[in-house]
């Protein structure tokens, strides 16, 4: 099983939850499996207050961090894992099966990283925009006749997989390991991966270069921004590479701003 210190490097993120009962169910599942870090993104304020003040609510609800955006909630994480079903969506990032989740977590913890596990709103789950901040999508398999899963149940399933099947040797081979190697942003390199926040800084700089170079019409800027987030998270950069890329694009931007004679 994961140790206490390992679980402290994993944060559960709820995006815009509305039902206080579901928020409470997630908190109980976290307490069941020894997780204590909870971040809530733009919750529906009346229901969030109700969940936090409920009699018997776990202490972790009182200590939960409230973030204005998903970008803010995961900025210190080196691996961001979105969750959901593929029944009504085509994934734009690598897909990890639920039974491969523990191995991926082991690899990231072994490299010294911080992990976020992200769950979407009860009604529709994570949006395409939300998932652009995620390195991978963890697929929770469900029956086609009932593809959606209750928020508390989805959290419990994922936390169980990480807590009880994690902490094993990261060595291994076979099809599952091959899929993880292809999907995970953590490699065997000793260099730590950049945080999500650092990737957002790099994406913002690249966007400035694209605007300065008149790469595409203004109406395409939002789509370009989305694509940049996805591309940078699929590139498997390490922290050193991301810093070099920052330096490179800063030089390009300075040259683009030099007045033409």
- Tell me if 44 sits within 8 A of 16, measured CB to CB: yes
Q: Where in the chain is the domain with CATH 3.40.1280.10?
A: 4-183
The pair phi, psi for residue 60, each rounded to 5°, is -65, -25
DSSP lists the bridge partners of residue 80 as 116
pTM value? 0.86
The H-or-E segment that residue 148 falls in is none
Q: So what's the pLDDT on residue 170? A: 46
| Confidence at residue 51, expressed as pLDDT on a 0 to 100 scale | 84
156-191 pLDDT per residue, tens = 999 999 998 877 644 443 444 544 454 444 444 446
pLDDT at 204: 95
Within 125-191, strands assigned E span: 136-139
The parts of the chain modelled with pLDDT lower than 50 are 169-176, 178-180, 182-190
Spatial CA neighbour of 240 closest among 189, 169, 200:
189
Q: Which CATH number fits domain 4-183: 3.40.50.720, 3.90.550.10, 2.40.50.140, 3.40.1280.10?
A: 3.40.1280.10
203, 228 Cβ separation under 8 angstroms? yes
Which residue, chain included where needed, has tokens 């999500």?
Answer: 196
Q: What Rg value do the Cα atoms of the chain yield, rounded? A: 19
pLDDT at residue 186, as a whole number: 41
* Termini Cα distance of the chain: 65
């Amino acid at each position: 099983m994961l140790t206490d210190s390992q679980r402290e490097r994993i944060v559960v993120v709820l995006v815009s939850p509305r039902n206080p009962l579901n928020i409470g169910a997630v908190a109980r599942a976290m307490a069941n499996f020894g997780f204590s870090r909870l971040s809530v993104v733009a919750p529906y304020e009346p229901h969030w207050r109700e969940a936090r003040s409920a009699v018997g609510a776990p202490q972790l609800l009182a200590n939960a961090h409230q973030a204005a955006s998903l970008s803010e909630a995961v900025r210190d994480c080196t691996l961001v894992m979105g969750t959901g079903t593929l029944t009504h969506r085509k994934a734009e990032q690598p897909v990890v099966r639920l039974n491969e989740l523990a191995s991926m977590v082991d690899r990231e913890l072994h490299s010294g990283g911080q992990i976020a596990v992200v769950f979407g709103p009860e009604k529709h789950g994570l949006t395409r925009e939300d998932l652009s901040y995620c390195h991978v999508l963890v697929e929770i398999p469900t029956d086609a006749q009932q593809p959606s899963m209750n928020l508390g149940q989805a959290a419990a399933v994922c936390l169980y997989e990480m807590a009880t099947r994690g902490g094993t040797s990261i060595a291994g081979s076979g099809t599952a390991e091959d899929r993880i190697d292809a999907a995970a942003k953590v490699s065997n390199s000793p260099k730590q991966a950049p945080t999500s926040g650092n990737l957002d800084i790099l994406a913002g700089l690249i966007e400035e270069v694209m605007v300065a170079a008149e790469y595409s019409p203004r109406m395409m800027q939002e789509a370009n921004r989305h694509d940049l987030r996805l591309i940078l998270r699929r590139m498997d950069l390490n922290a050193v590479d991301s810093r070099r890329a920052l330096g490179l694009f800063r030089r390009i931007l300075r040259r683009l701003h030099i007045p033409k004679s």
